[in-house]
Amino acid sequence: MSLPYAPRYAYYDGKSQSTSPSSSSFQTIDPSSATPIADIHSTSTTAIDSAVKSAQKAFPAWSATPPIERARILHRAAAILRARNDELARIETSDTGKPFSETSTVDVVTGADVLEYFANLVGGGGMNGETAQLRPDAWVYTTKNSLGVCAGIGAWNYPIQIALWKSAPCLAAGNCMVYKPSEFTPLHATPLAEIYAEAGVPPGVFNVVQGGGDVGAYLTKHPDIAKVSFTGQVATGRKVAGSAAGEMKYVTMELGGKSACVILPDADIDQAVDGAMMANFFSTGQVCTNGTRVFVPSAMKSEFEKRLLEKMAHIRPGNLHDPATNFGPLVSKAHYDKVISCINHGIKSDKATLLCGGPETPAWLASHTDKSYQNGYWVQPTVFTDCTDDMKIVQDEIFGPVMSILAYDSVDEVVRRANATDVGLAAGVFTNDLNLAHKVIAKLEAGITWVNTWGESPAEMSVGGWKMSGVGVENGKKGLEAWVRNKSTLVEMGGAVPTVFAKL
């Protein structure tokens, strides 16, 4: 039986390697119906070696290409991405289960934004170093140098966006990349490689390998990889970082969180509820920066919950290609089982109050015209209240549409409780008092913070976690620094070598 999408193989030397040896194969699944949509051929270690060699071969010429010329090529790639936005968004919807209303307006668009940003940055002098005059006859200058062949390991929740977040600064800085997409959402990688090639990126500069954790592990430890950029959960990230650091490789780790969404006492109720819903139910809760610990003043809690229940009606699951749909299934059966288990734990073990949702099959599925959806990984958006800090659902990253409401009585208290976690990816506050907002944000231990909004991460904004949530940043000017190594040179022009070994 033919599947909706063509098989996926490794991509290197500027082409799909359909004849290269494969260690095994698997199928990627449409989460909305649990049906296979493409065969994926895992890349063998021999083929991974070939992909790395292809990148090594391309590196000298690509790194020597003037930054402005690299910028022109990347701008062409961004233009192709925008022209093919809907086509690529449909692939993302099939692979991730996210509604087309989201993938068509966020995933490809924001990835193209980042590509344009780094093209502009290097084209406008972003690779320039610094100079400092030490004294009249001596000065220091620095240069930014490409690293070499880098590994990008993507995540399943924002496949093409994350691929671009990694490859855009990597390629702009003159590096080459071997990219491994998540085995759960691998369809985007080959189209992206083909778009780069069409734009003029030389063969070997952007390469793709396919497979699971074993492929990622081999790539991470490969002796010819200079840097590893990984996005994923904390436990896996610690292993990847440890492996890479042991080989003295550069690393960027964008890991998970259990972020605090703080509603301050003077906040507008409607805005606070809207923000909390965006922080919990966008992308079916499968966002690493989600603010799943929602802290609400005790005096406001009843009214907050009332408005939240009213607005929960605006969450619309259904046909993923209907523009009105704004809520999809979870990405896989394994993840579905995990989220349902967490919801059950919240009810049975944590004894939290279930305000809405729960582990049962969503009622709308029974009447949906597409009966295949009944086999998909659909869950109800779920809200627990009367939560306490020691509950498992409050402490653990669920990565699903599960909100925990926690009451508090003072600002000092909420700051202390918000920081009582070993992760620190994101945090946010909602308030009408901007002076108070800045004071609270300054005390929150997180690398990404918002005031009166949630989730927006523009290309200009450097993002990265504190504590166990990561190492380094992506995007913004600082994001380019993660893909270069600096060289400092001191020049003495006095006509004599300074020495302590002169004749007395």
CATH of 260-451, one of 3.10.580.10, 3.60.21.10, 3.30.70.2740, 3.40.309.10: 3.40.309.10
Query: Which helix (H) or strand (E) segment is 134 a member of?
Result: strand 131-135
pLDDT mean over 250-258: 96
For residue 210, give the nearest of 270, 257, 163 by alpha carbon: 163
Tell me what the pLDDT averaged over the chain comes to. 97
pLDDT mean over 456-485: 97
How many angstroms separate the CA atoms of 410 and 105, rounded?
39
pLDDT mean over 20-29: 86
Q: Exposed e or buried b for every residue in 482-501, given b needs 16+ CB within 10 A?
A: bbbeeeeeeeeeeeeeeeee
How many angstroms separate the CA atoms of 412 and 426, rounded?
19
- pLDDT for the residue 259: 98
| DSSP line for 70-107 | HHHHHHHHHHHHHHTHHHHHHHHHHHH---HHHIIIII
For residue 387, give the nearest of 349, 336, 361 by alpha carbon: 349
- pLDDT for the residue 323: 96
The tokens describing 491, both together, are 């020049």
Residue 58 has pLDDT above 70, yes or no: yes
Residue 301 has pLDDT above 70, yes or no: yes
| DSSP line for 389-455 | TTSHHHHS---SSEEEEEEES-HHHHHHHHT-SSEESEEEEE-S-HHHHHHHHHHS--SEEEES--S
* Per-residue pLDDT band at 23 (split at 50, 70, 90): confident
- pLDDT for the residue 119: 98
The catalytic position among 254, 305, 397, 474 is 254
How many angstroms separate the CA atoms of 321 and 93, rounded?
8
Residue 225 has pLDDT above 70, yes or no: yes
User: Taking the C-alpha atoms of 230, 233, 239 and 245 in order, what is their torsion angle to the nearest 10 degrees?
Assistant: 40
Looking up tokens 């006859």 gives 137
> What 3-state DSSP class applies to 222?
coil
Residues 393-450: pLDDT tens digits? 999 999 999 999 999 999 999 999 999 999 999 999 999 999 999 999 999 999 999 9
DSSP 33: T
pLDDT mean over 348-365: 97
**Do the Cβ atoms of 404 and 384 come closer than 8 Å?**
yes
| DSSP line for 98-111 | --HHHIIIIIHHHH
Residues 91-103: pLDDT tens digits? 999 999 999 999 9
Parse the chain into domains and list their residue ranges: 11-256+469-488, 260-451
* 11-256+469-488, CATH topology level: Aldehyde Dehydrogenase; Chain A, domain 1 (3.40.605)
* Per-residue pLDDT band at 22 (split at 50, 70, 90): confident
pLDDT mean over 317-324: 96
Looking up tokens 């190492």 gives 471
254 carries an active-site annotation = yes
The tokens describing 287, both together, are 């966002």
pLDDT mean over 374-380: 97
Number of Cβ within 10 Å of residue 412's Cβ equals 11
DSSP 463: B
How many angstroms separate the CA atoms of 161 and 455, rounded?
14
- pLDDT for the residue 94: 98
pTM recorded for the entire structure: 0.96
| Exposure of 19 in the CB half-sphere (CA atoms within 13 A) | 1
How many angstroms separate the CA atoms of 207 and 190, rounded?
9
pLDDT mean over 307-324: 97
Computed on alpha carbons and rounded to an integer, the radius of gyration of the chain in Å comes to 24
Sheet with 382-385, strands from edge to edge, namely 353-356, 382-385, 402-408, 293-297, 260-263, 426-430, 448-451
How many angstroms separate the CA atoms of 405 and 307, rounded?
13
How many angstroms separate the CA atoms of 177 and 207, rounded?
6
- pLDDT for the residue 283: 98
pLDDT mean over 22-49: 95
The tokens describing 117, both together, are 């940003």
* Per-residue pLDDT band at 1 (split at 50, 70, 90): low
In whole angstroms, how far apart are CA 224 and each of 34, 53, 152, 218, 221? 38, 9, 14, 11, 9
Percent of the residues in the chain that have a pLDDT greater than 90, as a whole number: 95
216's CB contacts (< 8 A; 6+ apart) are 153, 180, 240
